[in-house]
Structures are given as structure tokens and as C-alpha cells.
Amino acid sequence: MDYLGNHMLAEFHECDSDVLNNSGKLEQIMTEAAKLAGATVVSTHFHSYSPTGQSGVVVIQESHFAIHTWPEYNYAAVDLFTCSAKMDFEKAYDYLIDTLGAGKHSFSIVPRGYIKTAMAGTNEEME
């Protein structure tokens, strides 16, 4: 199956609420996580909610890496969209578990952009 991108959706529960509500710290963590995954950071955009919660998007050369936090529930949602097969999401994931202090965590990968022509190309090679 040929897809143009991969979208990793990660759930982090039982996190440190102080970290989840610290915009500067989250920006450092997400930037470092992007680098660990092998991404090239283009720009970072972090936003604080009132009274609590943070949103952050790291625009990377390979697409995007985002976090949204609910400190009151010790929960953070992270997603990494990448068009590169070389990205090492697991390194970023392990780093996020440590730095967010996540007691429970999981992730799933959603392939994006199924291209029939790519499949046709594969079939031709098989003939």
C-alpha cells in the first residue's frame, strides 16, 4: 500500500500538570522532540488558554508536530504529520513520556494520502 504521509496520534495521560501548563517548557520539549525524530524545525507557535491549557504547533520541514494540553486532567494530545519515511517517531514518543511525566500513554499511526498511481507503478515493476 502506498501512502504519501503518516499521521501519528499520541495520547499522554497522568502527566505532570505544571509541565502541561508551562508554555516555555512545552516549546523546548516539542522542539527537542522534533529534532530527536529527525525533523527540521521551521517555526514554533505556542498559545496559552485562560484559565489553563496550552496549544503548540511546531512547523517542520516534513509537515507538522502539535501538542494540546489539559493540565486539569493531566492529559496531552500530540500529533505528528510527516511526509518523510525517515522520521523516527518512537524517539520523540519516548522523550515525551519522560519529559511530560506520563503515567499512561499510547499512540496510533494513520496512513494518509493513498495514491493509486503509486500502486500501479508497483504493479508494473512486478510484471
Annotated active-site positions, please? Answer: 63, 68, 83
115 sits near a second copy (criterion: CB under 8 A): yes
Find the binding residues for a second copy in span 63-92 (CB under 8 A): 63-64, 66, 68, 70, 73, 75, 77, 79, 81, 83
54 binds a second copy (CB under 8 A): no
Is 7 a residue that touches a second copy (CB under 8 A)? yes
Burial of 100 (0-12, 13-18, 19+ CB in 10 A): buried
CA distance 58 to 111: 20
Q: Is residue 109 involved in binding a second copy (CB under 8 A)? A: no
Under the binding rule (CB under 8 A), the answer on residue 5 touching a second copy is: yes
Binding string to a second copy for residues 30 to 49, with x set by CB under 8 A, is what? ------------xx-x-x-x
Q: 18: closest CA among 117, 99, 87?
A: 99
Distance CA 61, CA 59 (A): 7
